[in-house]
Amino acid sequence: VLSGCGVYDGTEIHEASAILVHLSRGGAEVHMYAPDVPQMHVIDHSKGQPAEAESRNVLVESARIARGKIASLAKLTTADHDAVIFPGGFGAAKNLSTFAVDGKDCKVNTEVERVLKDFHKAGKPIGLCCISPVLAAKVLSGAEVTVGHEEEEGGKWPYAGTAGAIKELGAKHCVKEAVFSLTPFYEAHVDTKNKVVTTPAFMCETELHKIFDGIGAMVKNVLKLTGK
């Protein structure tokens, strides 16, 4: 499920690409969706500033990542899929929810909430990375998720405050290290009860290959939970 195209106002493209590569390697058949709604705003990524006169549609922008093969989120049903995965990027906090503005008091897009609840009710796994675990924290009461560490640690975890908001939403935050002591990849947290799998991704300032491997751990666990 995508949220636009570009880290500051949509889907984090590196994360989406990594998810797609790992799903392909895992032999999964992939369908992409996005809500057919206006973006909260448009960011000029070369300047990191809002483009005041511009407006864009989340589905239309997400189609850039999907190479045109994408459908409205309203068409996503649990009956046709074994699992659902949400990449990060500020779009998850701006277009799929209002978390970027309202924090713990955020609202989640109606279709996003439906999808999360439907997959949860059906006992089908849900994967989320970077900031997107806040969606599960808001919608699935008592879920266990990770966004990495709970302290900034000199800028290594610049969005560490998100962990506190997750707790305020009623979810359990599980601290995960950036790198295993013996293996060079990010950790993924598996909430076996709720079948929710999360990994920090770009919540941490680290090398791209480590983020890629962490997302791989998340995807691998999601596929494992499908039982296929």
Q: At what angle do helices 13-25 and 208-226 cross, to 10 degrees?
A: 50
Question: What is the DSSP pairing of strand 70-72 with strand 49-50?
Answer: unpaired
For the chain, the helix, strand and coil percentages under 3-state DSSP, each to the nearest 5: 40, 15, 50
On the question of pLDDT at 185 being above 60, the answer is no
On the question of pLDDT at 63 being above 60, the answer is yes
Q: Using one digit for the tens of pLDDT, what is the confidence trace for 188-204?
A: 999 999 999 999 999 99
Q: Which two tokens stand for residue 121?
A: 């009710």
Q: Distances in Å between the alpha carbon of 156 and those of 71, 103, 118, 121, 151?
A: 36, 21, 35, 36, 9
Identify the burial level of 48 via C-beta atoms within 10 angstroms of its C-beta, where 0-12 means exposed, 13-18 middle and 19 or more buried: exposed
According to the model, what pLDDT value does residue 180 have? Answer: 45
Q: Which of 56-70, 108-122, 207-221 is predicted least confidently?
A: 207-221
What are phi and psi for residue 34, nearest 5 degrees?
A: -160, 150
211, 18 Cβ separation under 8 angstroms: yes
What is the average per-residue pLDDT within 113-127? 98
Across the strands, what pairs with 44? Answer: 49
On the question of pLDDT at 106 being above 90, the answer is yes
On the question of pLDDT at 179 being above 60, the answer is no
What is the average per-residue pLDDT within 176-188? 56
Task: Please provide the average confidence, as pLDDT, over all residues in the chain.
Answer: 94
Identify the CA nearest to 211 among candidates 145, 128, 129.
129
Q: Which two tokens stand for residue 220?
A: 């691998």
On the question of pLDDT at 84 being above 70, the answer is yes
What are phi and psi for residue 181, nearest 5 degrees?
A: -65, -25
Outline where DSSP puts E strands in 51-125.
70-72, 84-86
Active site residues: 130
In which residue are the tokens 């266990």 written? 144
Domains of the chain: 13-226 (3.40.50.880)
